[in-house]
Amino acid sequence: MPELAEVEFFRKRWSAGHGATVLAVRLHAGKKVFRGTSPTLLKRKLTGATLLDSETAAKQMLFRFSGSGLPRAESRWLGIHLGMSGELRVEPPDYAATKHDHLILVQQQRQLVFNDPRMFGGVLFHTGKTPPAWWTRIAPAILSKEFTVEAVAVFLRRRARAPIKAVLLMQERFPGIGNWMADEILWRAAIHPQRLAGSLKPAEVRTLHRECRRVCRLALGTIAGKGRYLPPNLNAHIPKTWLFWHRWEDGGRCPRTKRLLVREEVGGRTTCWSPVRQKR
């Protein structure tokens, strides 16, 4: 499920546990979400640690914990990727874990739950004074200064023969963009998803860049919430003027042209577009 803003939404849920100690760690060792990680080490190092703060980058979250005991102890860094079906929840102290709750951090007042039925998500763990490489090597955010028109143009030239839809899903240049955001961006930019990346004119590249930023900003504002306010459920505040609400319904119509939307596979993913608005 989760793309950029949705990931931020879930991270904020767990911020309920900032400043609180982890009394116990419950996990499903051996499950696929722990590939590349030692569940034993994670459990040992996080038990007794305090959750200090957290951040989001692309589709990943990083939670920082103090070391227990020694004041100069190294930090503990927990990375979570939600994959296709993952979510974070906050449950009461007496909550009983269910089948797909692969990692639970038990605190005095609550349990922080990572649930992921399909297990395309994953958990990473690191101990050290600075954030690990798997975190710092994430590409610069779309809303950062480094995400320039020129950087987009260079990338599109290198991926010239791939459909633009597929290129927007490449995390090394468009971190956090997933299937529905890519469609939303192309729909707003009025670019056909099957256009080859190298065929975009300079003006179209500028538009694409601008709509990438706009969709990220709007999605973060409506899904992840502003300031301290967290919407009760995901997507609750997305306006009906977005492609988002119409892309999956049969007979769905473009919110702008009111004409029927098209749904087809592009770049290996189901893609929705408005044929009147987005010409080949």
What tokens does 272 get? Answer: 């929705």
Residue 158 binds DNA, judged by CB under 7 A: yes
- Choose between 108 and 144: whose C-beta lies nearer to DNA: 144
Q: Which of 160, 236, 241, 257 binds DNA (CB under 7 A)?
A: 160
- Choose between 209 and 247: whose C-beta lies nearer to DNA: 247
User: Judged by CB under 7 A, which stretch of 47-55, 123-131, 141-149, 266-274 contacts DNA?
Assistant: 266-274
Closest C-alpha among 248, 236, 242, 266 to residue 187: 242
Neighbouring CB atoms inside 10 A of 241's CB total 10
> Footprint of DNA on residues 213-252 (CB under 7 A)?
248
Catalytic one among 11, 45, 59, 173?
A: 59
2 is catalytic: yes
**Longest alpha-carbon distance in the chain:** 64
CB–CB of 280/195 below 8 Å? yes
Residue 153 binds DNA, judged by CB under 7 A: no
Side-chain-side CA neighbours of residue 119 (13 Å): 13
DSSP string, 112-143: EEEE-SS---EEEEEEESS--HHHHTSPPPTT
Q: Which of 97, 141, 153, 169 binds DNA (CB under 7 A)?
A: 169
Tokens 């990346």 map to which residue? 197
Which residues of the chain form contacts with DNA (CB under 7 A)?
1-3, 6, 32, 58-59, 81, 83-84, 99-100, 117-120, 158-163, 166, 169, 171, 178-180, 197, 248, 267-270
